[in-house]
């Protein structure tokens, strides 16, 4: 293989990865696009259903320090506990683990010409954010979530 073919192959592979979407998954909560638009605020719809990202430091949940739980704004499934929330300095609510492993799903995200691990609600498929391997003990993970994709319920 000459250099031209090698570069062409690498370039095509990168374009393929950037456009890659995981095979369609099925979720317990499935609504039409119109139903999601009616249920969610425009900002929540953009993040949960179109994989958008809110601006850093704009979510009130980033500064939420009370004891309680964080749930999916799309379907209400509890995702994270305040006990695992930490200040990552990124401007988004961050957690070192979900409340139970099965409440979130992950898949590779090749958008923006980089590979990240996308996190979604396992019940409705709503995009929540990304998980990175630069978090605190005990997991070493940082679940960097969009606040608009979640709701908070204080502990009684």
Catalytic residue among 72, 75, 124, 144: 144
75 catalytic residue (yes or no): no
Alpha-helix runs per DSSP H in the chain: 3-18, 33-39, 42-50
Encode burial over 99-121: b for 16+ CB neighbours within 10 A, e otherwise. beeebbbbeebbeeeeebebbbb
Nearest-5° angle of CA 55, CA 146, CA 129?
A: 115
Residues that are catalytic: 144
């Amino acid at each position: 293989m000459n250099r031209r073919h090698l570069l062409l192959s690498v370039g095509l592979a990168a374009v393929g990865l950037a456009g890659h979407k995981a095979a369609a998954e099925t979720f317990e909560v499935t609504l039409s696009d119109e139903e999601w638009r009616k249920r969610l605020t425009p900002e929540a719809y953009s993040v949960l259903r179109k994989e958008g990202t809110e601006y850093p430091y704009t979510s009130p949940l980033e500064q939420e320090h009370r004891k309680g739980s964080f749930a999916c704004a799309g379907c209400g499934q509890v995702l994270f506990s305040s006990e695992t929330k930490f200040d990552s300095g990124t401007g988004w609510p961050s957690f070192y683990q979900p409340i139970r492993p099965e409440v979130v799903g992950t898949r590779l995200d090749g958008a923006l010409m980089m590979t990240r691990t996308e996190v979604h609600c396992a019940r409705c498929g709503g995009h929540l954010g990304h998980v990175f391997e630069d978090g605190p003990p005990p997991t070493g993970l940082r679940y960097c979530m969009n606040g608009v994709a979640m709701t908070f319920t204080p502990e009684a």
